[in-house]
Chains A and B, each alone.
Chain A
Amino acid sequence: MCRVLLTNKLIQDHYMNLREYYHWQITLKDGRVVEQSADGDKEPFKFDSRNKDFENVKSIKLTPKEVNSHELSEVTVEIPEGAQLIYFRRTIANTGNIFPKFQLTLIGWQMNTSPDGKGKNIKYILYIYPDGKVLATDGSDPSIEEFIASLPQKDASEVKGCSGCQPRLVKAESDGEAK
């Protein structure tokens, strides 16, 4: 019994949710606070121009969901005046499921140095990994290879699905016919 309990504890301790591991909360310039809707519910807050409040975001706060709370920290980003919020969950997968599908969370902002939009576009994006690593960039994609290497990998013999796999090649005779 003790052995089973210990095993379960180890599994729980090392379990990491690789997708949807944050809950967001947005504070608007007029002081209103918008919470992300509950799992499974329709999200009324749209992250594009259909939402008039999208241009009025003062800050965004990410709170770890319970399962990853031991790995992740709360993250808050203030959106400078004139800048626009950036928020995405980037899903990364492969056709053979060699490594499990996972998400990076991207939060930050972008702004143009000129009011007419013809200036330089500046970006500040935090890339948050499921294991809690946070990288601040100017928008350029950070490496994911190290994180992928840390994930459980399938052996080639376990791969059942892939895109463009195992074509069978046959030798041609000199007249072009296959043998």
Chain B
Amino acid sequence: MASPADVNLVCNSGAGETETDITGTGIDFISADNCLNTSGNRTSNPITIPAAGFAYSYDKWLKFELGTTEPDTQVTNFKFWGAGTEPEAGVVKDYYKTTNTYATPALATTNSGYTAVSTATAGAKASISGTLNTQGEATQYLVMMLEVSTGASQGNMTQQTYNYSYDEN
């Protein structure tokens, strides 16, 4: 048998869809298109709390991609879920959507077309399509962004952690 398949969480940025493996590092929800997770990145690209209405982060384009160790048969049934809460109840919310086609990341302007991550829970996981067999194959995109409204607390927010699962045989 092969070792467990090498399934990586990849972030895509730029018009050329530059791929960054973020499996062990994560990303920032910020006002810029990059796949970094650094204090400097967050300081340089903050999200401004609006005086009225909403402000948004850039959308972050993620996908699961097979690395060098391939499965015996396939990797499939990708799921994603959070803790069932909002980053800051009522005023800072994280959203997601899934899509098959890449678009250059942009500053989000609405939550239309997105679903609140707080609804993707252990009991109601979100599905991400894709059956991976060989190195380089990837799932559809999981696009995430942050919505901030008046009343949000200033400063660094608590880290958000998301769960995921996939089936391999």
Q: Across the interface, do B154 and A171 meet the contact criterion of CB distance under 8 Å?
A: yes
Contact A163 B167 (CB under 8 A): no
Task: Determine whether B73 belongs to the interface, using a CB cutoff of 8 Å to chain A.
Answer: yes
B122 near A96 with CB under 8 A, answer no
Interface presence of B28 (CB below 8 A): yes
Asked if A166 is at the interface (CB within 8 A of a chain B CB), the reply is: yes
Known contacts: A40-B2, A90-B167. The answer to whether A167 contacts B154 by CB under 8 A is no
- Count residues of chain B with CB under 8 A from any CB of chain A: 59
A170 contacts B48, C-beta separation under 8 Å:
yes
The 5 closest A-B pairs by CB, nearest first: A43-B72, A96-B161, A165-B159, A162-B26, A88-B167
Q: Does B65 contact A (CB under 8 A)?
A: no
- Interchain nearest-CB distance for B117 vs A (Å): 9
Q: Which residues of A contact B (CB under 8 A)?
A: 19-20, 36-43, 45-48, 87-98, 103, 106, 141, 143-145, 156, 159-174, 176, 178
Q: Are A91 and B154 in contact (CB under 8 A)?
A: no
0/1 per residue, B50-88, Cβ < 8 Å to A? 110001010010100000000011100100000000010
In contact, B26 and A96 (Cβ under 8 angstroms): yes
The reply to whether A165 and B163 form a contact with Cβ atoms under 8 Å apart is: no
Does the CB pair A168–B42 fall under 8 Å?
Answer: yes
Quick one: given A47-B73, A169-B92, are A163 and B160 in contact (CB under 8 Å)?
yes
B3 contacts A39, CB within 8 Å? yes
**Could you tell me the distance between the alpha carbons of A97 and B27 in the complex, rounded to whole angstroms?**
14
Neighbouring B residues of A173 by C-beta, 8 Å: 51
Expressed in whole angstroms, the Cα–Cα distance for A143 and B81 within the complex equals 13
